[in-house]
Amino acid sequence: MKLAPTVKLNNGYEMPILGLGTYNLKKSRCEAAVRHALELGYRHIDTAYLYRNENLIGKVLHQFIGETKLKREQVFLVTKLWDIYHEPKWVKYACELQLKQLGVDYIDLYLIHSPVGVHYISDDDLMPHVNDELQTNDVDYLETYKSMEQLVDLGLVRSLGLSNFNVNQLKRLLENCQIKPVALQIECHPELVQSPLIDLCKMHNITVVAYSPLGRPKTCKPLPEYYNDPKLLALAEKYGKTPAQIILRYLIDIGTVPIPKAAQQVHLIENFDIFDFHLTPEELLQLGTFNQGRRIWKFEKAKNHQYYPYEK
């Protein structure tokens, strides 16, 4: 079985350079996708408390490890602290809740899902609203991260990271943390490369993880226009690959770790079959022309928050 190459994180742990994203994967669809992925050689699984599928992923992982010679430490498991748990008093509680759901003793990489804190009502009310307005709070993400650092000391988490932070927020955190984040997970695809963030991360040896890497987070949405661009189609023909495979290779070759979501086995196979070629520097520049700064995810309900990370 062929496994994905790995990247060494700034704390010495290694993370496969391609992962399975599980946003919006529910019930049997989620279980089947994770099982097929593990069978195919995926060893990097990305989830979040927000996705409400940690228990399903934990169930499949437990079964798969029990049936095979796979060990827990051979799977790189990523999950995220949701926004309702930003108050320091909730951080350890949330982590332990997620460990229980996942059925594991530790999380490989634990991310702050976003710098925006949301008022805690209950574990099931993930986006509490009053009169159609999201109930955010003013908890400083530095305080949240400080509490997450204690999880590493306790052995509950191996590595810490961030998600949806902008350049200024990342700089501020780097100036005020004890444990350097190993990764920043951001929306990244041909139409939104976020080069300034990638460059800053490279400067500090922080690995960039690309979510929504294929620019199409929901299959009901039409494919982005660049899928039919002659430049992309010519590269697909040259390498004997699909446009999606060229895009994933592009994201790896510019130094990110893509985590495409896939539910069907044919797409899981397709996404994983990208380790037998590299794009040339000239080809990377060609594909870079698709970068229009087009953001898919904006979390506009939080746009008035002081730590809203996107353009206002």
pLDDT (tens digit, 9 = 90+) per residue, 112-132? Answer: 999 999 999 999 999 999 998
**Range 103-107 average pLDDT:** 98
How many Å separate Cα 206 from the centre of its chain?
Answer: 14
Of 220 and 29, more confident = 29
According to the model, what pLDDT value does residue 311 have? 73
Distance of alpha carbon 148 from alpha carbon 91, whole angstroms? 7
**With bands split at pLDDT 50, 70 and 90, how would you rate the model's confidence at 87?**
very high
Which region among 42-51, 67-76, 101-110, 293-302 has the lowest average model confidence (pLDDT)?
A: 293-302
**Range 224-232 average pLDDT:** 95
Residue 26: pLDDT above 60?
A: yes
Torsions phi, psi for 165 (to 5 deg): -95, 145
Which residues fall within 8 angstroms of residue 2, CB to CB, at 6 or more apart?
A: 41, 275
- DSSP H stretches of helix in 103-225: 141-153, 167-176, 195-203
Beta pairing partners, 58: none
According to the model, what pLDDT value does residue 200 have? 98
According to the model, what pLDDT value does residue 223 have? 86
Q: What angle is formed at CA 249 by the lines to CA 192 and CA 80, rounded to 5 degrees?
A: 60
**Range 151-160 average pLDDT:** 98
According to the model, what pLDDT value does residue 75 have? 98
**Range 91-117 average pLDDT:** 98
Assign a CATH topology to domain 6-299.
TIM Barrel (3.20.20)
Residue 250 annotated to the active site? no
Residue 286: pLDDT above 90?
A: yes
**With bands split at pLDDT 50, 70 and 90, how would you rate the model's confidence at 220?**
low
Beta pairing partners, 186: 210
Asked whether 62 and 70 are in contact (CB, 8 A), the reply is no
**Range 122-146 average pLDDT:** 96
CB atoms < 10 A from the CB of 312, how many? 7
Q: Which of 98, 130, 103 is nearest to 113 (CA)?
A: 98
Tell me the two tokens of residue 151.
């999880």
Task: Tell me the residue type at 198.
Answer: I
**With bands split at pLDDT 50, 70 and 90, how would you rate the model's confidence at 85?**
very high
Catalytic residue (choose from 23, 42, 49, 51): 51
End-to-end Cα, the chain, rounded Å: 47
Please identify which residue in the block is written with the tokens 């904006």: 298
**Range 175-179 average pLDDT:** 98
Distance of alpha carbon 140 from alpha carbon 238, whole angstroms? 49
CB atoms < 10 A from the CB of 107, how many? 23
User: How many CA atoms, within 13 angstroms, populate the side-chain half-sphere of residue 104?
Assistant: 31
According to the model, what pLDDT value does residue 218 have? 66
> Could you tell me what percent of the chain has a pLDDT over 70?
98
